[in-house]
Amino acid sequence: DHTITEGSNEPRMKLEGGLLATEFDEESCLSRYHQSSLRKSSPYKPSDYLVSKLRSYEMLHKRCGPGTDAYKRATEQLGHNHVIRSSGNDECRYVVWTPMFGLGNRILSLVSDFLYALLTDRVMLVDQRNDISDLFCEPFPGISWLLPLDFPLTDQIDSFNREHSHCYGNMLKNHAINSTTIPSHLYLDIFHTSKEHDNMFFCEKDQAFIKRVPWLVVKSNLYYVPSLWLIPSFQTKLIKLFPQKDTVFHHLSRYLLHPTNQIWGMVTRSYNAYLSRADERLGIQVRVFSTPAGYFQHVMDQILSCTEREKLLPAVAIEEESQVSNTSTIPKLKAVMVTSLHPEYSDHLKNMFWERPSSTGEIIEVYQPSGERVQQTDKKLHDQKALAEMYLLSLTDKLVTSTRSTFGYVAQGIGGIKPWILYEPRHRKAPDPPCVRAMSMEPCSLKPPLSRCQAKTIKITHFIRYCEDRITGIKLV
């Protein structure tokens, strides 16, 4: 029985294999403790080096975070356009995360920023003007990760774009970078549409310069972790941190992301009502990217053909009678958790398995927590439901996701699940084959920021492959 109950039994010292800090108040963030009691046996253990790196990051954050003297000194530099002296070794340096695009995109860029912070000994602070604190608990012990609202650049953040005078790519293009003058801050533009100059951020030589800049403000909608692996000096550290290369998102998301009690309440209520008693749990994430989006017969056909072909769901029986008579044994219960903006896909499945028995005799229970119809990013309850559903999907045993959806990537990564990915439908037809098994649980970097400086490296790196569902994307395997 996997029912979630109050108070986890896992000894605090061993939370997530030592990944999590121990000095938290349990009641303030229940997900931190309860989650691990549900996901009994993650085969992926964090390396000792990652664990010690996280502990030293926490110390750095305590020394440099909001409200400290070091933070005050660092923000005072910001008034001046160019800081001539290079910052001393004990000066704190920062990377500021900002929310862009939907929640899945945001989580991917947040984890990427955090890894960058770990690799470069920076402190990560998050722009709190949207609903981040309605979604996640504070991840670091004793000190906030929220960028204070009176941060001197707050009013400028929204105007940062590719053309901005502090945008790194733009400065390179305008020859405004020289190694004697270190700007107090840079804006980094890391999008699927970013160009060569912005992508030079991912070159070794550029990192040597950027290292000296105290403040970096990043806007990104990408999981840019694979691009960090392609920077040689970073790769050396990354191999030590993540000997299992396809566990980066898995470990970092479990370390960093802890849904608030309100969201965890939603997760546990759904889990206990619909998933905990099942013999097997299947998640199906249906994301329709066409315009208009909605219910399409070819998408439904594709889901059914994938789940039947991969033996994830039984077919419905043709002969009804033979099934009805067989009532002596307790049938297996399979719970199917569907998430989608559109409620019709789960309605269809539910009806199908109500109107006819399954060919195997299994009982199929279908559940969809919400059907919001349209994306409403930045509406608090909408985003909370989306996050709750990502976590519910991550608690299933097997998972079907939709092509190029960051929503699905987050669920699979947190869950440590290699999903079956539904290919993108073309010309309103279900593709054949309908789906493909993912090579790894890592998110795909859909349009990775790559620079000419990396072109050679990518060919010789066997642990980075082109994505199953996106020919332009790369992922860790």
Where do contacts with ligand GDP occur on this chain (CB under 6 A)? 101-105, 287, 339-341, 370, 372, 375, 377, 382, 385-386, 389, 405-407
- Least distance (Å) between residue 158 CB and ligand GDP: 19
User: Which whole-number Å values give the CA distances from 189 to 93, 155, 232, 233, in the listed order?
Assistant: 19, 18, 21, 22
d(CA 401, CA 324): 33
- Least distance (Å) between residue 294 CB and ligand GDP: 13
Under 8 Å CB-to-CB from 155, ≥6 apart: which residues?
A: none
Question: What residue has token string 């722009």?
Answer: 127
* Residue with smaller CB distance to ligand GDP, 103 or 110: 103
Instruction: Answer for the pair 210, 187: CB distance below 8 angstroms, yes or no.
Output: no
- Least distance (Å) between residue 313 CB and ligand GDP: 18
* Residue with smaller CB distance to ligand GDP, 75 or 270: 270
298-302's contacts with Cβ under 8 Å and 24+ in sequence apart are 298/425, 298/428, 298/429, 298/430, 299/345, 299/425, 299/430, 300/345, 300/348, 301/430, 302/422, 302/423, 302/425, 302/430, 302/431, 302/434, 302/435
Sign of torsion over alpha carbons 42, 458, 433, 375: positive
* Residue with smaller CB distance to ligand GDP, 276 or 377: 377
- Least distance (Å) between residue 477 CB and ligand GDP: 21
* Residue with smaller CB distance to ligand GDP, 164 or 382: 382
* Residue with smaller CB distance to ligand GDP, 81 or 375: 375
* Residue with smaller CB distance to ligand GDP, 339 or 454: 339
- Least distance (Å) between residue 244 CB and ligand GDP: 25
One DSSP character per residue, 11-52 reads -GGGGGGGTS-S-S-GGGGHHHHHHHHHSTT-S----HHHHH
* Residue with smaller CB distance to ligand GDP, 253 or 340: 340
d(CA 406, CA 353): 30
* Residue with smaller CB distance to ligand GDP, 188 or 263: 263
* Residue with smaller CB distance to ligand GDP, 16 or 468: 468
d(CA 86, CA 282): 54
- Least distance (Å) between residue 320 CB and ligand GDP: 33
432-438's contacts with Cβ under 8 Å and 24+ in sequence apart are 433/306, 433/309, 434/302, 434/303, 434/305, 434/306, 434/309, 435/302, 435/306, 435/309, 435/310, 435/400, 436/468, 436/469, 437/310, 437/468, 438/412, 438/468
- Least distance (Å) between residue 371 CB and ligand GDP: 8
Query: What are the percentages of helix, strand and coil residues in the chain, rounded to 5?
Result: 40, 15, 45
**Coil, strand, or helix at residue 135?**
helix
The residues pairing with 339 across neighbouring beta strands, listed in sequence order, are: 285
* Residue with smaller CB distance to ligand GDP, 288 or 476: 288
* Residue with smaller CB distance to ligand GDP, 50 or 474: 474
- Least distance (Å) between residue 389 CB and ligand GDP: 5
- Least distance (Å) between residue 387 CB and ligand GDP: 8
- Least distance (Å) between residue 334 CB and ligand GDP: 20
Shortest-Cβ-distance residue relative to ligand GDP = 102
- Least distance (Å) between residue 97 CB and ligand GDP: 15
Burial string for 390-425 (b: 16+ CB within 10 Å, else e) reads: bbbbbbbbbbbbbbbbbbbbbbbbbbbbbbbbbbeb
